[in-house]
Amino acid sequence: MAARKPDDRGTLDFSVLAARLPLIAGGFGAAIAAALFIGLRVGVDKWKDPAWAGKGAIDAQIALFNKGLDPAFGLSVLLALFVVLVGEVTRFRFALYYMAGGGLAVVAAAYAMGLDRAGVTADRMILWQVYATAGILGGAVYWLIAARNR
């Protein structure tokens, strides 16, 4: 990668951004996978939903994954992508930025889609904790793979 001169802090170097694109895409994909894993694994244990009541662990995870593939999932990915793009363009390299951004993206999408009121009988605070934990883990994974200073 080309070294950055002290006077070009405010400019956007597209060649550096293009060179980082595979790393950004890989980090973002791994972050989504980590957030989905936590959301599915912890979500199956915490949600009490008739869609997977009495099912085995694998069937319950598949049912929860199918429920998560509604617009809330797409909205949370778009919000997280916005956080990543802002971080990459402005060259933020702070773990807290990506962790907070990931957590807020997932929680905001879940709130916007009303997932806390979608016929779930579990404690709603536990669901928000699951959403936030999944987003925070996704932000931390992205930071570890693509955003930290090397």
Mind giving me the DSSP string for 73-95? Answer: HHHHHHHHHHHHHHHHHHT---H
Residue range 32-40: mean pLDDT, rounded: 83
pLDDT of residue 96: 92
pLDDT of residue 74: 78
Which of the two residues, 150 and 42, has the higher pLDDT score? 42
Residue range 46-53: mean pLDDT, rounded: 59
pLDDT tier at 63, thresholds 50, 70, 90:
low
For residue 123, report the phi and psi dihedrals to the nearest 5 degrees: -65, 125
Whether the CB-CB separation of 131 and 75 falls below 8 Å is answered with no
Residue range 32-51: mean pLDDT, rounded: 72
Q: ∠92-95-101 over CA atoms, to 5°? A: 80
pTM of structure:
0.73
**Whether residue 30 has pLDDT greater than 90:** yes
Residue range 41-54: mean pLDDT, rounded: 63
Q: Which two tokens stand for residue 26?
A: 């890989």
Q: What is the pLDDT of residues 92-114, one digit of tens each?
A: 888 899 999 998 988 887 777 66
- Within 47-150, residue ranges assigned H as helices are 57-68, 71-90, 95-113, 124-142
pLDDT of residue 54: 65
116 DSSP assignment: G
pLDDT of residue 7: 46
Query: How is the chain split into domains, by residue range?
Result: 29-147
Residues 6+ apart with CB under 8 A from 5: none
